[in-house]
Structure 1
Amino acid sequence: MGSVSAADEVLDVVDRDDRVTGQAPRGEVYARGLLHRCVFVQARDARGRVFVHRRTASKLVFPAYYDMFVGGVLGAGEDYAGAALREAEEELGVSGLEQPAPLFKFLYEGPGGAWWSYVHEVRCELPVTPQASEVDWHTWLPQEELDRRVADGSWPWVPDGLEAYRRLTAYRAG
């Protein structure tokens, strides 16, 4: 990307059926609340702990909030599978990660806007070196501790990640 700012990155704009209807720069997509596509990847280590991180204070949306997913928006022409692997490797700071497994897709509508959100999972046994521009703190939390941190409300969670987490919990419960 080089010197191109995040706001200038071109995204696919989609409709409520997740069909591409056009393209627009990310800044315009956010400003106008246009529907677009995101991936969410839950990464677990060899012991089954979940990668949790705090976003940097410079992020365009939800700065300094916590998230239990890595991921991000799809660029124009990108598919969910490609974005899931790219974003997971970028945010975890690894290469050679296995392809994240797709689980389910939902339309997020809430604080920050609205976007199609495809939830994936991946096992990461590689040492992680998260992107300093994206992540200012990280750890691997046991599932029980993650559940407790969500329930007690002591950490501010990104609202889309929180909804994805709730849906993932229900999905896993059958």
Structure 2
Amino acid sequence: MSAADEILDIVDEQDQVIRQAPRGEAYAQNLRHRAAFIQARDAQGRVFVHRRTPTKLVFPSLYDMFVGGVVGAGESYDDAALREAEEELGVSGLPRPTFLFKFLYDDGAGRTWWSAVYEVRCELPVSPQVEEVAWHDFLTDDEIERRLGEWEWVPDGLAAYARLTAYREETAG
């Protein structure tokens, strides 16, 4: 089965399932669905950053500071977060990612999805999927901040990053 054939839950503004559709149809018709975003940090606290492959259906060849992806039909956000993190990092036995918050991503041009944001510590050696990840490294928070204006980042990841930064500032003080 290709990625475009994967069945997704299509949801409304309140994140309630209204029907199901193949991923390709959801993308082509801008149907609201669900996604999980996981910030993975190594033992030194650095963030896993990668550039997506040019064959990705959405945001090909752009940089991302999250691993993750769509939530399959009938799948929970928590299960999708663990599955996606292990798949994209190329590890097994990862601790269950910690849920932080959820928001409705909307690019203003019709692309919208409910986005659950997680964090996880990955102390295992990573071996990212070559179909998903063209380049990767673990970067410090300062390195990411420096690269924000230099690299072309996935827009939904930037939205999640801004919300995560605000969330951390709120919970720290």
TM-score range, shorter chain: over 0.9
Aligned length: 169
The one-character-per-residue Cα deviations of 1:64-88 (angstroms, maximum 9, x if unpaired) are: 0000000000110000000000000
What CA RMSD, in Å, does the superposition of the two structures yield over aligned residues? Answer: 0.8
Q: How does 1:54-73 map to 2 (within 5 A)?
A: 54-73=51-70
Task: Show the 5 A alignment for 1:59-138.
Answer: 59-110=56-107, 113-138=111-136
Residues 61, 112 of structure 1: 8 Å contact kept: no
TM-score after normalising by structure 2: 0.96
Residue of structure 2 in register with 1:169 after alignment: 165
Contact 1:11 1:75 in 2 (8 A): yes
> Residue 50 of structure 1 corresponds to which residue in structure 2?
47
User: Identity across aligned pairs (percent)?
Assistant: 69
- Assess, with a 3 A threshold, how the Cα gap between structure 1 residues 63 and 112 changes in structure 2: closer, same or farther: farther
Q: Say if 1:93 and 1:129, in contact at 8 Å, map to a contact too.
A: yes
1:23-38 correspondence to structure 2 within 5 Å: 23-38=20-35
Unaligned runs of 5+ in 2: none
1:147 offset after TM fit, Å? 1.2
- Structure 1 segments of 4+ aligned residues over 4 angstroms from their partners: none
- Residue 5 of structure 1 and its aligned partner are, at CA, apart by 1.0
Shift of the alpha carbon at 1:26?
0.5
Query: Secondary structure in 2 aligned to 1:172?
Result: helix
2:138 paired residue number? 140
Give the unaligned 5+ runs of structure 1: none
Q: Distance in 2 between matches of 1:7 and 1:90?
A: 17
2:166 is aligned with 1:160 = no
Q: Distance in 2 between matches of 1:92 and 1:47?
A: 17
| CA shift for structure 1 position 47 | 0.5
CA offsets 1:26-54 (integer angstroms, 9 cap, x no match): 01101111100000000000100000000
Deviations 1:92-125 (A, max 9, x none): 0000000000000000000671000000000000
- Find the residue that maps to 1:173 and give its secondary structure: helix
12, 15, 19: which one aligns with 1:15: 12
Amino acid at match of 1:62: F
